[in-house]
């Protein structure tokens, strides 16, 4: 049979060849039968509670093991800790109890209880839709415990394999044996899904949103080319191509070794032009990684880590201590802190309305914070106090700012607390259209390409069905970035990028060519981006940027 190519979205640049192992099919849905009258409700309630507790304990154990492991494990640990909380949620447990009292079996009650919450998360879209998949995985583990069967997960193999699945949970990815896992191929997910982000963080070759992956069978040999976003099946008739792919993989390893040699050095083009390479940090563990990979500072400090999972905001004193501890890690270096990005994909019980029909276009970011002045003022007060106690160069920005009036409002507010550098995130197309005005009132702009892409192209970044639209290579997205960069250069306002686009070595060169002054990314991407910049001059980058604006590097699905 002739080779066949399945296309998807590649994560990273690696290439792998090996036999397929498929994730086991999900267990059947528990039947919707009434509980036998001979089985007391109290006994079923206890069974469900015990199963929930067992899953919670197992996930917490995995999180502790990950936290005590290598640097990649430490990145996974906070996600496992957050997922474990689903199994101890009191409102979910009460709903399951109510269903059992109403006559359901424990298995059916768990299924319906989790499904109800999954539907709520999925309807929110964005990041919360991704959490719906995590929630589903926890529910399946609880049901498996009730049935006395092994929990769903990665199958065991004595030999290296290419793992193929509809999608993977963070628990699955954390459990992967990197000495055996050659690559991951999924039919769902997008470039900013948990699967993609964690695969990149763990250095696993991956292709996601690969339509046709469901047809791959156990044992067949495939070539997974993340750089091309392609999976080639039945390559026996294309041995030369396979050898070339393997050679490319070896070259990639050599390039990675060279990239590691540059670690700790500044980001510079071949002609010496400096593009500061910063790190995205969302926890103390991320700060460790940023320093390990030689970040020149922090381009995005996500302050949500202090708020998520809390019923009320932390005190100013608690925030001050946490911010100061992180700032202390970067003496003399720039640290850009983003205020709480609440709403839509990050709902919080003390901030976010429960009944917004379209939360992604509702109270998000600065809009939410303006309604809750006490929260934003508490953050600004804490950041100013932390800044006074440390030697870091603190810059503070607000998320989801739409225009120059919102920018001026926030800059004035931030400076009233004594903050020296106050700027805004550029995540919606309107701020690009008003960039010349924004540049006259803000100290800086940081472009969040994840949201800018999904809002510019009207494509939910969590949906595999529109994954091919979720690319910052689209000329419309690049033109928006250029508008902002041009305005910054005209008015002397620094402009940086802190979205996933900055982690793509090829796109990083283009972004610099568009006039962006700094790039911030997941720490593990710093080596590759630093090495790629060193291969080009700034003039080369500008030439590539001009071609990218014309769409030379963007491949539309409508052309196929």
Whole-angstrom Cα distance, residue 192 to residue 197?
Answer: 6
Whole-angstrom Cα distance, residue 79 to residue 317?
Answer: 26
CB 59 within 8 A of CB 83: yes
Whole-angstrom Cα distance, residue 407 to residue 423?
Answer: 7
| Residue indicated by tokens 């998320």 | 399
- Catalytic machinery residues: 194, 498
E strand or H helix that includes residue 415: helix 404-416
- Which residues, 6+ apart, have CB-to-CB distance to 471 below 8 Å? 9, 191, 453, 477, 554
Whole-angstrom Cα distance, residue 458 to residue 452?
Answer: 10
CB 473 within 8 A of CB 445: no
Q: Quick count: other Cβ atoms within 10 Å of Cβ 492?
A: 7
Q: Do the strands 221-225 and 205-208 form a parallel or antiparallel pair, or are they unpaired?
A: unpaired
Q: What is the 3-state secondary structure (H, E, C) of 200-239?
A: HHHCCEEEECCCCHHHCCCCCEEEEECCCCEEEECHHHHH
| Residue indicated by tokens 């892409």 | 453
Q: Quick count: other Cβ atoms within 10 Å of Cβ 153?
A: 18
CB 105 within 8 A of CB 44: yes
């Amino acid at each position: 049979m002739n080779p066949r190519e399945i296309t998807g979205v590649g994560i990273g640049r690696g290439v792998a060849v090996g036999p397929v192992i498929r994730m086991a099919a999900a267990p059947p849905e528990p039947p919707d039968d009434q509980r036998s009258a001979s089985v007391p409700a109290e006994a079923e309630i206890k069974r469900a509670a015990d199963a929930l507790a067992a899953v919670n304990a197992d996930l917490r154990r995995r999180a502790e093991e990950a936290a005590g492991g290598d640097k990649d494990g430490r990145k996974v640990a906070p996600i496992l800790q957050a997922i474990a909380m689903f199994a101890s949620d009191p409102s979910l447990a009460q709903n399951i109890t109510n269903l059992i009292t109403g006559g359901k079996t424990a298995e059916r009650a768990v299924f319906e209880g989790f499904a109800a919450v999954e539907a709520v998360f999925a309807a929110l879209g964005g990041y919360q839709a991704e959490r719906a998949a995590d929630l589903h995985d926890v529910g399946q583990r609880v049901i498996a415990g009730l049935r006395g069967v092994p929990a769903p997960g990665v199958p065991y193999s004595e030999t290296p394999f290419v793992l193929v699945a509809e999608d993977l949970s963070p628990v699955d990815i954390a459990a992967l044996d990197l000495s055996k896992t050659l690559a991951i191929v999924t039919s769902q997910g997008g470039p900013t899904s948990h699967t993609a982000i964690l695969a990149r963080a763990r250095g696993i070759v991956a292709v996601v949103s690969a339509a046709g992956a469901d047809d791959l069978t156990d044992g067949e040999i495939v070539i997974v080319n993340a750089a091309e976003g392609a999976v080639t099946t039945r390559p026996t008739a294309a041995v030369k191509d396979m050898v070339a792919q393997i050679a490319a993989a070896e070259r990639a390893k050599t390039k990675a070794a060279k990239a590691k040699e540059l670690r700790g050095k500044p980001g510079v083009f071949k002609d010496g032009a400096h593009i500061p390479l910063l790190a995205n940090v969302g926890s103390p563990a991320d700060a460790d990684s940023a320093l390990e990979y030689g970040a020149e500072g922090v381009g995005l400090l996500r302050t949500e880590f202090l708020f998520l999972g809390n019923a009320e905001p932390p005190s100013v004193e608690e925030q001050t201590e946490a911010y100061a501890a992180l700032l202390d890690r970067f003496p003399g270096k720039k640290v850009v802190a983003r205020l709480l990005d609440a709403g839509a994909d990050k709902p919080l019980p003390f901030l976010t309305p429960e009944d917004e029909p379209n939360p992604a276009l509702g109270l998000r970011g600065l809009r939410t914070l303006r309604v809750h002045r006490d929260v934003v003022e508490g953050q600004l007060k804490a950041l100013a106090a932390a800044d006074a106690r440390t030697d870091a160069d603190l810059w503070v920005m607000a998320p989801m700012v739409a225009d120059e009036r919102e920018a001026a409002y926030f800059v004035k507010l931030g400076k009233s607390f004594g903050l020296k550098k106050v700027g805004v995130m550029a995540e919606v197309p309107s701020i690009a259209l008003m960039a010349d005005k924004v540049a006259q009132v803000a100290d800086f702009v940081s472009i969040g390409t994840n949201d800018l892409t999904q809002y510019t192209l009207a494509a939910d970044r969590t949906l595999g069905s529109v994954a091919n639209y979720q690319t910052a290579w689209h000329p419309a997205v690049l033109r928006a970035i250029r508008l902002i960069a041009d305005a910054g250069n005209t008015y002397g306002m620094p402009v940086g990028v802190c979205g996933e686009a900055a982690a793509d070595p090829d796109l990083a060169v283009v972004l610099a060519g568009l006039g962006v002054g700094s790039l911030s990314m997941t720490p593990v991407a710093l080596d590759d981006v630093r090495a790629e910049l060193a291969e080009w001059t700034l003039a080369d980058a500008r030439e590539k940027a001009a071609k990218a604006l014309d769409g030379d590097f963007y491949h539309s699905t409508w052309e196929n």
